[in-house]
C-alpha cells in the first residue's frame, strides 16, 4: 500500500472513535496492533493499557489478543489508541449501578501504596487505610494479591474518584451475625468466649461477634479486688448466659457459674477430724466464721473457741486473724462446716477438771487432820 493510500485510510478515523484491533507485537513500553477492516496499524502506549501503573506491557496483553480500543490521536501512518479509556467507560457504567444498589463484590488488591490499597476495577479504585479493616492494621504488605470483598462508598466519575471500603462489608457482616446471635441466645447457655476488654467493674467477653459483660461479682467464687487479678485480655474462657436485653444489646455473663463451686468435694478436702488453717472473717455473738478455703467458711461455735468460759468471741479472737481449726462435722449438701479451735489447744494446768491429788494423799481423811491438831494443842 502506498503512503497516499495510508493517508486516505487514516483520514477515515477521528479522535474518540471506537475500533477493534488485534495485537501483533508487544514491546516493553508499547503495543502494536492491526486495526480490523483496514490496512492500518495502531500503537497503544503503555500508559494507555490500564488505569493502574504498568511496568511491562506484557503484563497486560499478549500477541493475538483481540482488543476494543479508542482513538486518541490520528497520525500520518498510524493511530494512537487507548485500551484504558474503553475499559474505564465500561467500568464506570457498571460501578455506578453497584454504587446505587449498595452491591458487595470481590476484587483483587493490585497494589499497596502509602495510605491504603489499590484495586483495578477498570478504573483505579482506592481503599484508604482506615477503610480496610474494622481493627488497626500496622502493615498492609500481605494484602497485595489478596481477594477481598468491597463496597463503593464514594464515586465521582468527573473527578475519576472511586473510594472502596472492605471495613463496611466486615461491619455489616458483624451486625448481621450479632443480630442472629442475639436472637439465638438463651439464659443458662454455656459458651466459649474471649476476654476483649477489662474494666474496674468487670470484663467484656466476645462470644462470637458480640460482647457480653461479666460483672466483677461473677468472675470467681472468691472475692475479687480487681478483675485483672483474675482474667487478662485475649484469655479464652467459658461463660454462662445470665440474661439478655435485646432492646439494648446487653448480655450478662458469668464465669463463676461455669467453675466448680467452693463447696464441691468439701468432704474430701475437709474430712471430719482433720486440721486446717483458716482466717477469721466474721465475729458474731454466738461464734466465729473462719474461711478455710476460698469461698468456704465454717462456724466455730462460742463453746468451741476456748476451754475457759468467754462472754463473746471478741475476748479471744479478732477478724483477719489466722487460726488452726479442727473439723467437727461437714455437710456438703447444706454447705455447713462445724469447726473447733479449743480441740487443738491444751487445757491450762490449773483446770479443776484435770487436777488430781498426789498418789500419796489419796484416802487422807479430814478426821485425821483434826486429830493431829488436837494432839498438838494438848502438848
Domains of the chain by residue range: 3-82, 101-170, 186-258, 266-344
Looking at domain 3-82, which of 3.40.50.720, 3.30.10.20, 2.40.50.140, 3.30.420.40 is its CATH number?
2.40.50.140
In tens, the pLDDT along 238-272 reads 999 999 988 888 899 999 999 888 888 899 999 99
Indicate the pairing of strand 296-301 with strand 336-340: parallel
Mean pLDDT of 105-120: 93
The hierarchical CATH code for the domain 266-344 is 2.40.50.140
In tens, the pLDDT along 180-201 reads 888 889 999 999 999 999 999 9
Domains 3-82 and 101-170 share a fold: yes
- Grid cell of 313 as nine digits: 468471741
Q: Does domain 101-170 have CATH number 2.40.50.140?
A: yes
Looking at domain 186-258, which of 3.40.50.1970, 2.40.50.140, 3.30.470.20, 2.60.40.420 is its CATH number?
2.40.50.140
Which residues does residue 325 pair with via DSSP β-bridges, in sequence order?
276
* pLDDT at site 11: 65
Q: Which of 83-92, 138-147, 231-240, 336-345 comes out lowest in average pLDDT? A: 83-92
- The per-residue b/e assignment along 290-314, b for 16 or more CB within 10 angstroms, e otherwise, is bbbbeebbbbbebebbbeeeeeebe
- Report percent pLDDT > 90 for the chain: 60
* pLDDT at site 10: 61
Integer Rg of the chain from CA: 45
- Separation in Å, CA 277 to CA 65, 190, 327, 335, 341: 88, 35, 11, 18, 10
CA atoms within 13 A on the CB side of 377: 6
pLDDT beyond 90 at 123: no
pLDDT beyond 60 at 62: yes
In tens, the pLDDT along 204-221 reads 999 987 899 999 999 988
Split at pLDDT 50, 70, 90, the class of 160 is confident
pTM of the shown model? 0.49
Amino acid at each position: 500500500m502506498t503512503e497516499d493510500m495510508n493517508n486516505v485510510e487514516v483520514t477515515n478515523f477521528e479522535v474518540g472513535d471506537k475500533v477493534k484491533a488485534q495485537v501483533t507485537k508487544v514491546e516493553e513500553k508499547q503495543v502494536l496492533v492491526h486495526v480490523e477492516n483496514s490496512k492500518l496499524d495502531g500503537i497503544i502506549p503503555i500508559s494507555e493499557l490500564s488505569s493502574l501503573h504498568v511496568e511491562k506491557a506484557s503484563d497486560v496483553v499478549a500477541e493475538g489478543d483481540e482488543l476494543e480500543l479508542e482513538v486518541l490521536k490520528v497520525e500520518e501512518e498510524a493511530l494512537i489508541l487507548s485500551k484504558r479509556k474503553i475499559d474505564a467507560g465500561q467500568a464506570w457504567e457498571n460501578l455506578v449501578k453497584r454504587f446505587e444498589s449498595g452491591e458487595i463484590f470481590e476484587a483483587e488488591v493490585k497494589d499497596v501504596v502509602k495510605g491504603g490499597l489499590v484495586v483495578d476495577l477498570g478504573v483505579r479504585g482506592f481503599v484508604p487505610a482506615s477503610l480496610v479493616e474494622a481493627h488497626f492494621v500496622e502493615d498492609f504488605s500481605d494484602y497485595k494479591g489478596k481477594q477481598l470483598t468491597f463496597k463503593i462508598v464514594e464515586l465521582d466519575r468527573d473527578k475519576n474518584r472511586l473510594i472502596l471500603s472492605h471495613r463496611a462489608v466486615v461491619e455489616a457482616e458483624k451486625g448481621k451475625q450479632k443480630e442472629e446471635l442475639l436472637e439465638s441466645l438463651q439464659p443458662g447457655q454455656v459458651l466459649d468466649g474471649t476476654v476483649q476488654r477489662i474494666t474496674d467493674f468487670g470484663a467484656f467477653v466476645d462470644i462470637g461477634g458480640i460482647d457480653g459483660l461479666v460483672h466483677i461479682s461473677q468472675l470467681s467464687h472468691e472475692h475479687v479486688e480487681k478483675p485483672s487479678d483474675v482474667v487478662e485480655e485475649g484469655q479464652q474462657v467459658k461463660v454462662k448466659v445470665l440474661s439478655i436485653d435485646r432492646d439494648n444489646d446487653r448480655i450478662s455473663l458469668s464465669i463463676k457459674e461455669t467453675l466448680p463451686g467452693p463447696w464441691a468435694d468439701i468432704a474430701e478436702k475437709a474430712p471430719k477430724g482433720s486440721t486446717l488453717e483458716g482466717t477469721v472473717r466474721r465475729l458474731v455473738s454466738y461464734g466465729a466464721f473462719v474461711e478455710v478455703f476460698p469461698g468456704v467458711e465454717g462456724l466455730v461455735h462460742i463453746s468451741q473457741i476456748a476451754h475457759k468460759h468467754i462472754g463473746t468471741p471478741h475476748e479471744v479472737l479478732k477478724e483477719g486473724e489466722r487460726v488452726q481449726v479442727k473439723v467437727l462435722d461437714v455437710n456438703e449438701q447444706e454447705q455447713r462446716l462445724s469447726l473447733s479451735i479449743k480441740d487443738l489447744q491444751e487445757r491450762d494446768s490449773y483446770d479443776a477438771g484435770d487436777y488430781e491429788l498426789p498418789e500419796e494423799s489419796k484416802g487422807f481423811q479430814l478426821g485425821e487432820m483434826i486429830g493431829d491438831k488436837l494432839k498438838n494443842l494438848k502438848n
